Structure formats: C-alpha cells, structure tokens
C-alpha cells in the first residue's frame, strides 16, 4: 500500500473482500470454497488491476478458481474468475512487469536473505523479480539463501496434518537461514513467513521474518532501529 502510493498510484482496499479460499480448496473442501470464489470475483471484477502480497493466494486465484467453479458446473463463474485472475498480480509482478519499476525508493539497512516460496517460484514463475526489487533497496545487505528453492514445509493444513514432516522440512530451512547469518528472512508470502518465523522464534534464533512489501515500504528515518515484525 505504502509502496504503491509512494509511486503515485491510487490504491483501494475493497472492504467486501475476505479470503481467496485456497485453504479450503487445498484441504479438499471445494464446495465450501465456492462462496469465497464468488465473493472474490464479485468484489474485484470492477477493478483494473488487482494486487495481493501473497504468491500462493495469487496462485490459487489463477490456477484454482476457475477449475473449482467448473467442477461445480458454474461455467459463468469460471469465465468471470478467469478474467479477474488475469488481472490479479503478485506484488513483485505488478511492480516489475506492469509498472516497470525496480527501484521503489526504499531504504533498509539490514542483512537480509530471501526465501522464494514455492507458489511464487513455480506456480507464478516470478523468477528473480523480488530479488531485483531487493537489490535496489539502499542500505540492504542481501545474502543468498542455500537451497532456497526447497519448500519450507508450510503447505497450509499440511503443517498440521503432517506436523512432523513439516517440522523436519522447517528445520532444514531454518538451518539454511541461520547459515546466512542474516538478521532478516524475507519472502513474498505471509503464510510461509509465519511458518519460518514461528520456528525461528521458538528457537530464539534472533532472526526476524519480514514480508517483502514491508522492506519495500521502508524508507530512511523509519523503522531502522529494529526490523518490523510480520503483521497484516
């Protein structure tokens, strides 16, 4: 929000919005996701461009909404969902591809490592866009994350249904984060960050998780003392 407004764009947060329904779909409750899909389409249909700060939500909107609608024989909703999904962007896609910006004028004097998150990486193919944005942030000390493209183990309800396996994957992700000696781990997905951040917090590792958008929103004189915690 702050980043986009700083770049001179008018941003609207339609209060009617709720949730994309990914959790329901990925857990098998497609019928329960239908009203959420309908609401998403109803809410965002009038807008020109839609942006979400979460790769997996954008992935669900793009890859699942129409599919679920079709499975429940609602072709009209499927077509509308497809049209809205085509205008829905993950933040780094919007900034780099649509708005043509890489330097958003941010300042963030911290050692940061970036976790690409599976759905941004594979479903949306955002590639190195987030890294291109981060490299232009002044003051940042950006360090590569070993085995960055391996899943952190979140996977929505996977983290609860298969808690042990999820934790084993998280352990390896945290080992790699800690090996970078970064003070901040960032990503374009709040859910993965909550997972990684929860693990790091439990270890009292002294590494914060901060959403990509928050780093891009930071400017000189604001929030320099300590990296902001994840909040939405």
Partner 1 sequence: MTAFLGLPGWPGRPGSRRPPAEPAHAPRGVGHLRAADPFPVAARRALADAQLRRNLGKATTTIRAKRAAVVSELPDWEELRAAGEAIKTATMADLDRHLEQLDAAVTARGGTVHWARDAIEANNIVTALVQAAGATEVVKVKSLATDEIGLNDALAAAGIAAYETDLAELIVQLGHDRPSHVLVPAIHRNRSEIRDIFLREMNDVSPDLTDDPAALAEAARQHLRRKFLSATVGISGANFGVAETGTLCVVESEGNGRMCVTLPQTLITVMGIEKVIPSWADLGVFLQLLPRSSTGERMNPYTSMWTGVTPGDGPQSVHLVLLDNGRTAALADPVGRAALHCIRCSACLNVCPVYERTGGHAYGSVYPGPIGAVLSPQLTGIEDNASLPYASSLCGACYDVCPVKINIPELLVHLRARHVEEARRTQRLPSAEAITMAAASYVLADPGRLAAAQSASRSGRLLGRRGRITALPPPLAAWTRARDAPVPPPQTFRQWWQGHHGDDRGDRDDRGDQ
Contacts to partner 1 from residues 90-119, by CB under 8 A: 118-119
Q: Are strands 141-143 and 208-211 parallel, antiparallel or unpaired?
A: unpaired
Q: Read off φ and ψ for residue 109, nearest 5 degrees.
A: -85, 65
**Distance from C-alpha of 40 to C-alpha of 76, rounded to nearest angstrom:** 14
By the rule CB under 8 A, 150 interacts with partner 1: yes
By the rule CB under 8 A, 57 interacts with partner 1: no
Question: Cβ 157 to partner 1, closest distance in Å?
Answer: 8
The residue range among 28-36, 103-111, 129-137, 214-222 that interacts with partner 1, by the rule CB under 8 A, is 28-36
Question: Cβ 151 to partner 1, closest distance in Å?
Answer: 4
Question: Cβ 67 to partner 1, closest distance in Å?
Answer: 8
Q: Read off φ and ψ for residue 184, nearest 5 degrees.
A: -135, 135
Helix (H, G, I), strand (E, B) or coil at 53: coil
Position among 132, 156, 178, 183 found at the interface with partner 1 (CB under 8 A): 156
Q: Which of residues 179-198 bind partner 1 (CB under 8 A)?
A: 194-195, 197-198
Helix (H, G, I), strand (E, B) or coil at 101: coil
Q: Which of 208, 210, 151, 215 is nearest to 178 (CA)?
A: 208
- The helix (H) or strand (E) run that includes residue 107 is none
Position among 163, 179, 220, 222 found at the interface with partner 1 (CB under 8 A): 163
By the rule CB under 8 A, 226 interacts with partner 1: no
By the rule CB under 8 A, 175 interacts with partner 1: no
Q: Read off φ and ψ for residue 141, nearest 5 degrees.
A: -115, 95
Name residue 111's beta-bridge partners. Answer: 141
The residue range among 102-110, 137-145, 161-169, 177-185 that interacts with partner 1, by the rule CB under 8 A, is 161-169
């Amino acid at each position: 929000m702050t980043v986009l407004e700083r770049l001179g764009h008018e941003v609207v947060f339609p209060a009617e919005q709720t949730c994309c329904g990914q959790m329901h779909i990925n857990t098998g409750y497609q019928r329960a996701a239908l009203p959420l899909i309908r609401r998403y389409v109803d809410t965002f249909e009038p807008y020109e461009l839609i942006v979400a700060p979460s790769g997996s939500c954008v992935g669900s909107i793009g890859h699942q909404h129409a599919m679920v609608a079709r499975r429940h024989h609602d072709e009209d909703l499927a077509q509308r969902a497809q049209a809205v999904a085509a205008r829905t962007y993950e933040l780094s896609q919007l900034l780099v591809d649509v708005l043509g910006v890489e330097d958003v004028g941010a300042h963030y004097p911290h050692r940061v490592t970036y976790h690409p998150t599976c759905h941004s990486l594979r479903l949306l193919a955002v590639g190195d866009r987030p890294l291109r944005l981060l490299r232009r942030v002044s003051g940042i000390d950006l360090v590569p994350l070993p085995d960055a493209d391996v899943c952190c183990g979140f996977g929505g309800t996977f983290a609860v249904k298969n808690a042990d396996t999820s934790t084993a994957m998280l352990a390896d992700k945290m080992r790699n984060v800690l090996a970078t000696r970064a003070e901040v781990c960032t990503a374009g997905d709040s859910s993965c960050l909550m997972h990684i951040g929860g693990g790091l917090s439990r270890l009292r590792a002294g590494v914060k998780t901060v959403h990509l958008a928050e780093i891009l929103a930071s400017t000189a004189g604001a929030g320099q003392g300590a990296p902001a915690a994840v909040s939405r």
